[in-house]
Every structure is written in C-alpha cells, then in structure tokens.
Amino acid sequence: MAKAKKRAAFFCSECGFESPKWLGQCPACHKWDTFTEAPTTKYAQATNWGVSAVHSAPTTLNEIQADEEERTVTGIGELDRVLGGGIVTGSLILTGGDPGIGKSTLLLQMCRLLSGNGHKILYVSGEESAKQIKMRAERLGDFCDNLYILCETNLGMISDIVTDMRPEIVIIDSIQTMYSEEAGQSPGSAGQVREATGRLMRLAKSLPVSIFIVGHVTKEGIVAGPRLLEHMVDTVLYFEGEGGASYRFLRSVKNRFGPADEIGVFEMREDGLKEVLNPSGYMLQGKPENEPGSVVICSIEGTRPILAEVQALVCQTNFNMPRRTAAGTDYNRVNLLMAVVEKRLGIRLGGYDAYINVAGGMRINEPALDLGIVAAILSSYKNQALDSKTVCFGEVGLVGEVRAVSRAEQRVMEAAKLGFGHCIMPKANFQKINVNETALNGMRLAGVSSIYELLEVI
C-alpha cells in the first residue's frame, strides 16, 4: 500500500476546529489551550465520505432517485425512537457518554435482540476480554450464534475481518482504544481518534455496514473525545445520567437520518437496561408533597412532553459571595433568572445562597423551564409550598415577562394525563390553547404574562 502523505494540522479537542498552526484560544468555541497536533492522513482528510468520484457530473435535483433509507429495527423501542426509527444501513453512529454509564451494556443488549432476529453482528472490544464480555452477557440473558466477539484494537485487521465476514452491524468499543498505523500516534490521541473514525466511515459506506462507535467523554477537556468526531459521523447519541441514580437518558444530538434532540429513557437494573415507558411518572417518583421549593414543570424533550421536578433551596448565606449551584440545568440561566427576580420583584437575593436541581438526573435546557425555576426560587424564599398538583411552564424574559413556548397543548395534555389539577402557563399560550375539555380531566388552566402575576397565582 502506498504510504499516506502526512501533513500536520492542529485540532481543537473541544469542537474539532482545524487550524494549520497552534492557537492558544479556539476561534470557534473560545476555549483555551485545547489545540493538539495531529497528522491529517488519507482517511482523516477525506471529507466526501461515501461519495464516489463517479458522481462528479452535475445532475438536477429531480433526476436524483432517493428512496427511503433501509432501516433495521433494533427492538429496543427507546433506542429506535432516538435513532429515528431504526439503524440506517451503512450509517456511522457515535455513542458517547461518561465511563460506566452503560454504553457497552446498551449496545450488547441491542446485539442480543438483533442477533436473535437473524442479523449477523460483530462486536469488537478493545476494552474488555472475551471472558469479561461473556460475564456481562450472562447478566443480560441468552444469546444466539449470530453474534461474534472480537477482541482487537488494530483497525487494519478489524477492517479486513469486517470485509471478509460481511456482518450487518459492527460495534467498536471504544474508539479511544483503537489504533491505525497510518496516524502514527498513541491510541486515544486526537490524531488516532480522527483517523480511526475516518477509516470506519469509509468502511461503513463502502460495504455497506452500520457501525456503532463507543466514545468515552472525560470530565475535563474531553481530550480526543467524541466532540472531535461529531462532524464526521452520521448520528451522535449521548448517554447521560446521574452517578447514583439508576435513570439513564439517551439523547440524539445530531442525526442525519432522523430527529435530533430526541431522548430515550432507561433504567439500569441488575439484568441490564430496561426501557421506561412512562418517563413523566418515573421522573416524579419520590417527589415530596407540599414542600417549599419543589415545583413540577413540563419540558418537551424531542417529540415527547416530560414532567419533571425542579427543586430550589434558597437560604441566608454565611459568605461574602453567596453560593449558587445548578444541577441538571444551565448555571448561567439560573443566575440570570435570579437577577430578574431581584430586579423585577424587588426581592433582595444578594444575601442568599441558592441551589437549584432538576431531580432525576435528566438535563433540561429548554426555556420553558424558566417559569418553574422562578416559582421554585420564590416558593423556597417565602417558605411557602405550591399546591403539589400544580404544573408550570413558560419562558421568562429579562424584564420579567412570561413568553409563549411551543407545543403548549402537548404539555397540558401530559399534565392532565398524570392527574394534575392546575397548570400555569404563559398568557399568550393560554389565550390560544385548544384542548378537549374531557381530556383535561378537571384541570384548571391559568395564564400569566409576567412574574408578578405568577406571584399572585401561586
């Protein structure tokens, strides 16, 4: 094989930005000290993945035949939903997440179902021995003979085996352990990870075979992690959850073949991951009744409304600088909302610590969460509980106005379905809402146009 021409470039390990020279700060994501050098070799350079040179003559859009992609349904409903209806043949799917969150478990469960349905699957592990995989598999149930395990980290060899064996689906666990001789760096480095991914993309498109890549996210820096690869692959799924809790959320942050931002909800049990079919009910388990600082909100995650509990603890501070924390949502957003409350309602929060938490381990960044955060802060500050059958949603603007959010009907119906009695929403949504009275199940609706009105309603 001709030796690949090596040309070095520098990449931001946070966002993958490429630069011909080293930079202290990334111009794209503005993070400092994230640039690492990596040779761009033939696979990493090729960006026209799967587009062969034969197609280089221009054609009109009407001449192009585009059939629906061929999909393989995995049988794990929550995973199929996140993928947009199954695995598209020839796609490259990155599954990222913290170490130990359950990526290997989820993929092995998927392999178990698919191989049971007659699909030929190759699971390549660079992290665990065959015996360790077997031990994990025993917790998940019986496996049939269509699933092959390969413990190997050399991509050249893996590529040859896949080409010979022609499996329908390949799992690469994990990309950080794989190495390609062409990149000439140690496994896990930015150059190797990019090179390996480029090579797998070629393989996926040329055979075609669907490939799942596992990528660990490290807390600091995400060095050579999945971030670097997001632009290269077809689909990016992130598996997230709180260390202690058993909930796991699978989120699609990019999907060339389906909706992005869709989520799937799982519970980690002794015998593997189980789908959670009623996420709202699940998220509200253990919610305290009539406690100050606890508010139920409704967020749209992907195509589904999900209820969750927001908790706030506002108490007098013992420090010069009050402490503020936000778990499960954006810290800066929480600070901003506290400033709005302080300025617009004249409540002096400067002498108070505030801790905000979205219970259950799910991360919610939707603006509709704002009203819930404000209500929770006010409830904790005044030490007055909201009626525990109240749900609220709405975006809060800088002058304290409550702004309309999308898909209000869906949110209202979800709250009614779970037996809530009172729903506080933006006035603009309230005026236009069109829901069936019987489906409301006696739930009262209230529209507020500003956070003063919120104060009156609660």
- Is 95 a binding residue for Mg ion by CB under 5 A? The answer is no
Main-chain phi, psi angles of 376, to 5 degrees: -65, -40
Helix intervals (H) in 168-238: 190-206
Among 187, 191, 272, 305, binds ligand TYD (CB under 6 A): 272
Give the Cα separation of 360 and 373 in Å (integer): 16
Among 34, 74, 95, 104, binds Mg ion (CB under 5 A): 104
Give the Cα separation of 227 and 215 in Å (integer): 9
With contacts defined by CB under 5 A, how many residues of the chain interact with Mg ion?
A: 1
- Is 13 a binding residue for Mg ion by CB under 5 A? The answer is no
* Nearest residue (beta carbon) to Mg ion: 104
**Pick from Mg ion, ligand TYD, none: which does 136 bind, CB < 5 to 8 A by kind?**
ligand TYD
- Is 103 a binding residue for ligand TYD by CB under 6 A? The answer is yes
- Is 100 a binding residue for ligand TYD by CB under 6 A? The answer is yes
Give the Cα separation of 211 and 171 in Å (integer): 6
> Do 388 and 365 contact (CB within 8 A), yes or no?
no
Pairing of strands 169-173, 210-216: parallel
Among 31, 42, 120, 136, binds ligand TYD (CB under 6 A): 136
Stretch that binds ligand TYD, among 17-25, 147-155, 255-263, 269-277 (CB under 6 A): 269-277
Stretch that binds ligand TYD, among 95-103, 179-187, 333-341, 398-406 (CB under 6 A): 95-103
Query: Whose Cβ is closer to Mg ion: residue 107's or residue 183's?
Result: 107
> Do 371 and 424 contact (CB within 8 A), yes or no?
yes
Query: Whose Cβ is closer to ligand TYD: residue 223's or residue 404's?
Result: 223
**CB under 8 Å to 51, separation ≥6 — which residues?**
none
Query: Whose Cβ is closer to ligand TYD: residue 171's or residue 374's?
Result: 171
Q: Say whether the peptide bond before residue 180 is cis (omega within 30 degrees of 0).
A: no
Main-chain phi, psi angles of 410, to 5 degrees: -60, -40
Stretch that binds Mg ion, among 66-74, 103-111, 192-200, 278-286 (CB under 5 A): 103-111
- Is 176 a binding residue for Mg ion by CB under 5 A? The answer is no
Q: Is 101 helix (H, G, I), strand (E, B) or coil?
A: coil
Among 25, 30, 51, 99, binds ligand TYD (CB under 6 A): 99
Residue 157: left if φ>0, alpha if ψ -120 to 50, beta else—which one?
A: alpha
| Helical (H) or strand (E) element with 269 | strand 263-269
Cα separations (Å) of 281 from 244, 296, 312?
Answer: 19, 12, 21
Among 40, 74, 105, 252, binds ligand TYD (CB under 6 A): 105
**Pick from ligand TYD, Mg ion, none: which does 97 bind, CB < 5 to 8 A by kind?**
ligand TYD
Residue ranges in contact with ligand TYD by CB under 6 A = 97, 99-105, 136, 139, 268, 270-272
Note the residues at the interface with Mg ion (CB under 5 A). Answer: 104
